[in-house]
Amino acid sequence: MYLTQALHRWASATLAGVATACGERVRTFAETRERVSRLAGGLRRIGVAHEDRVGILSLNSDRYIESLFAIPWADGVLNPVNIRWSPTEIAYSLEDSQTRVLIVDDVFAQAVPAVQAIYPGLRTVIHAGDGPTPDFAISYEELITESEPTGDACRSGDDLAGIFYTGGTTGAPKGVMLTHANLVSAALGGLASGSFFRHGVTPRSLHVAPVFHLADFAFFLMTSIGGGANIAVPMFDPENVLELIGTQSVTDTLLVPTMIQMLADHPKVSAYDMSSLRTIVYGASPISPALLGRAQNAWPTVDFVQAYGMTELAALATILPAADHSDGTRQRSAGLMAPISEVRIADGDGTNVPHGVVGEIWVRGPQVMRGYWHKPQETTEALQNGWMRTGDAGYLDEDGYLYIVDRLKDMIITGGENVYSSEVENALAQHKAVAACAVIGLPDERWGERVHAVIVRAPHSSVTAAELQVHTRNLIAGYKVPRSVSFVDALPISGAGKILKRSLRDTIENSSRS
């Protein structure tokens, strides 16, 4: 199993099949194979050798997709860098992984001097942009035109494919080592579920979420394996996305719930032709029933599919099929074990608990990471006999559906009672005036922690804290009802689309102190 197989297959198979599209540029698989083999030749010429890490710091583009094939083709290891990071964080991840070659686009070329000031080990910068190539960089397009094609190193199986730094919400970033088998088996497992893409339709996938994040990376790989076109969008802009779906005949896209909300609630949502769209895959967090309802109203023929996973699992553990989105209970679950996964729920000793009982979610399968780069202790803590301890809490129902209760570390302990934020968030989200919400624990003299809700109001709503407290009291136990509420315009989200609860907590604590 190897990342580049899909490119080999479709370039050999079809003359006309489209591999990438970005703005006006459209390239077939055969053209892409030619460019990738030359780019790989160029990487080798500038000194990329066996297992050297090559970073990519760029908005989504067709060149990003080409680089994802070219780096392993050249015998290198991918390091897709989080575009939301500061120069300090970027330099940390490059230095930690000893990445000496970095591909940047026009936007991120500007960050290079600041990064190199911190990490001088970054010796070569390749500029993959449309603007002029900066002095400190070499040109991506020239590297392609001036290099001879090279044969694919055919890195495969247990060979290291990439180091993916977790944009986790707590602690220092860790480099997740994923092999070719990890990545390809996760993509095959996703496809094997039958939940992604529609049988018989060649996918045209819109990459709106950043491809450096493993959820969208997996979506890129599934699309490629399926012989589909990867359509790259540099940044999420609701109106642009609505327009592109029609003009590019997009069949599938992967979004985080926040993006779905911004599209579904957009005033011009009904003005655009979305008839080509078959499936919206979402992840990072469950979708609230109220938002799902609005999205289904907006696009009645679109399937909604949820994937649950994490970087350490090549982004895939469970899948909630489209059909289960019409079931009020199952719609709140993370779905069934993917065709490559085993999931078990364990107590603190690692012993299985019965169906219906909450415990820590453990996952096993060919997608489980090799480990954390140069972090043997964290690796030992995370991996046990092939199982990945996710750190998430949940339970399995009797039909095998996984319900995620919360990230263990996000649990709020108030007056000695455990409160899982997601339960409170689900209750809040059922109020029609709530567009988005997050529930956190804030320090409280009386209760230790108190349940606090942060709310994004729906357009034109002026709902009050008291009204929301009355609403939730009808749905959940009194001690779970938010004792305090604040209203914001938008929630801070990570590159992975997760709500940054720590940042939310810091902001609110600071503002209440000031």
**Binding residues for a second copy (CB under 8 A):** 1, 5, 8-10, 12-17, 154, 157, 185, 188-189, 191-195, 197, 199-200, 225-227, 321-323, 336-337, 339-344, 352, 355, 365-366, 386, 396, 398-400
Task: Give whichever of 15 and 466 is closer to a second copy, judged by the CB atom.
Answer: 15
Q: How far is the CB of 412 from a second copy (least distance, A)?
A: 30
Task: Give whichever of 60 and 390 is closer to a second copy, judged by the CB atom.
Answer: 390
Task: Compute how many other C-beta atoms are within 10 angstroms of the C-beta atom of residue 30.
Answer: 18
Output the CA torsion 214→216→217→221 (10° steps): 140
Beta pairing class for 303-308 and 279-282: parallel
Task: Give whichever of 144 and 340 is closer to a second copy, judged by the CB atom.
Answer: 340
Q: How far is the CB of 177 from a second copy (least distance, A)?
A: 17
Task: Give whichever of 121 and 194 is closer to a second copy, judged by the CB atom.
Answer: 194
Buried b (16+ CB within 10 A) or exposed e, 64-103: bbbbbbbbbbbbbbbbbbbbebebebbbbbbebbebbbbb
For residue 37, what is the enclosing H or E element?
helix 29-45
Task: Give whichever of 155 and 294 is closer to a second copy, judged by the CB atom.
Answer: 155
Q: How far is the CB of 399 from a second copy (least distance, A)?
A: 6
Distance between CA 112 and CA 98 in Å, rounded?
A: 16
Q: How far is the CB of 206 from a second copy (least distance, A)?
A: 20
Q: How far is the CB of 342 from a second copy (least distance, A)?
A: 5
Strand ranges inside 200-241, DSSP E? 204-207, 229-232
Q: How far is the CB of 192 from a second copy (least distance, A)?
A: 4
**Residues 6 or more apart from 278 whose CB is under 8 A from it?**
197, 198, 201, 251, 252, 301, 302, 303
Task: Give whichever of 13 and 235 is closer to a second copy, judged by the CB atom.
Answer: 13
Task: Give whichever of 108 and 219 is closer to a second copy, judged by the CB atom.
Answer: 219
Greatest C-alpha distance within the chain: 70
For residue 14, what is the enclosing H or E element?
none
The sign one gets for the Cα dihedral 499, 503, 506, 512 is negative
Alpha-helix runs per DSSP H in 352-438: 376-382, 421-429
Closest CA to 147 of 123, 132, 122, 126: 126
Spacing of C-alpha 165 from chain mean position? 12
Spacing of C-alpha 273 from chain mean position? 26
Q: How far is the CB of 13 from a second copy (least distance, A)?
A: 3
Q: How far is the CB of 169 from a second copy (least distance, A)?
A: 29
Task: Give whichever of 55 and 359 is closer to a second copy, judged by the CB atom.
Answer: 359
Closest CA to 185 of 80, 339, 9, 400: 339
Distance between CA 71 and CA 36 in Å, rounded?
A: 9
Q: Is 436 exposed, middle or buried (0-12, 13-18, 19+ CB in 10 A)?
A: buried
Q: How far is the CB of 317 from a second copy (least distance, A)?
A: 12
Task: Give whichever of 321 and 492 is closer to a second copy, judged by the CB atom.
Answer: 321
Q: How far is the CB of 514 from a second copy (least distance, A)?
A: 50
Task: Give whichever of 116 and 251 is closer to a second copy, judged by the CB atom.
Answer: 251
Q: How far is the CB of 213 from a second copy (least distance, A)?
A: 22
Task: Give whichever of 385 and 462 is closer to a second copy, judged by the CB atom.
Answer: 385
**Residues 6 or more apart from 243 whose CB is under 8 A from it?**
272
Spacing of C-alpha 482 from chain mean position? 29
